[in-house]
Each structure stands twice: as structure tokens, then as C-alpha cells.
Structure 1
């Protein structure tokens, strides 16, 4: 019978492509249309992180 808790690899946090660890959370409200479009992306959380980072970089240059 398989282990119901999964393999030890499943218990480790996911690996991020960037340098800093993902330790903080941000909650935000979006429209239903935005949520539906966002859910069509391959990796919605990474898409949101990149969009936020692009805007932060743009604002920093001003």
C-alpha cells in the first residue's frame, strides 16, 4: 500500500527560480475576469511575481 503522505521529496518546499527564498505572502483582490485569465497561465503565481517585479522596477527608475 502506498504511503498516504507521499514521498519525502513532496514534503520539501518548492524551489524558486530566483535568488531569494519565498517567505512572505500577499493577498489581493481581483476581478472575476482577471482571475479567469490568470488561471490560464502555466504558472500563475510566478506570472504574478514577475508582473509585480516589473512594475516595482519601472517605478524605481522614475
Structure 2
């Protein structure tokens, strides 16, 4: 019978080499075409993080 808590290695804290750990979650609605375009990227989560950061940097400098 499988372990209901998952694999023991999944219980270890997530480690990252980033300056700030990615602990928050953000959810928003997009069109189906936009969703498919983002999902076709090599690393969709990183693509979204970069795009949002670029927009925030641009907004800050304006």
C-alpha cells in the first residue's frame, strides 16, 4: 500500500539558490490562447516570473 504522506524525499524543505525564496503563490485568469502560449515555453513558471518582474521594473522606473 502506498505511503499516504508521499515519498520521504518530498517531505524535505524545498531549497533554492535564489536571493528570495519562492514561498508565495499567485493566481490569475488568462485567455485560453495566452495559457497555451505560456505552456508552450520551455519553463512556463520562470517565463511568467521574468515577464512580471520586467513589467514591475518598467513600472517602477516610469
Which of the five TM-score ranges fits, normalised by the shorter chain?
0.7 to 0.9
1:27 partner SS: coil
Closer, same or farther in 2 for the Cα pair 1:50/1:19, shift >3 Å?
same
CA RMSD of aligned residues (A): 2.1
Match of 2:48 in 1: 48
In the alignment, does 2:12 pair up with 1:12? Answer: yes
Closer, same or farther in 2 for the Cα pair 1:31/1:46, shift >3 Å?
same
List gaps (5 residues or longer) in structure 2: none
Match of 1:35 in 2: 35
Output the TM-score relative to the length of structure 1.
Answer: 0.75
List gaps (5 residues or longer) in structure 1: none
Would you say how many aligned residue pairs link Structure 1 and Structure 2?
60
Output the TM-score relative to the length of structure 2.
Answer: 0.75
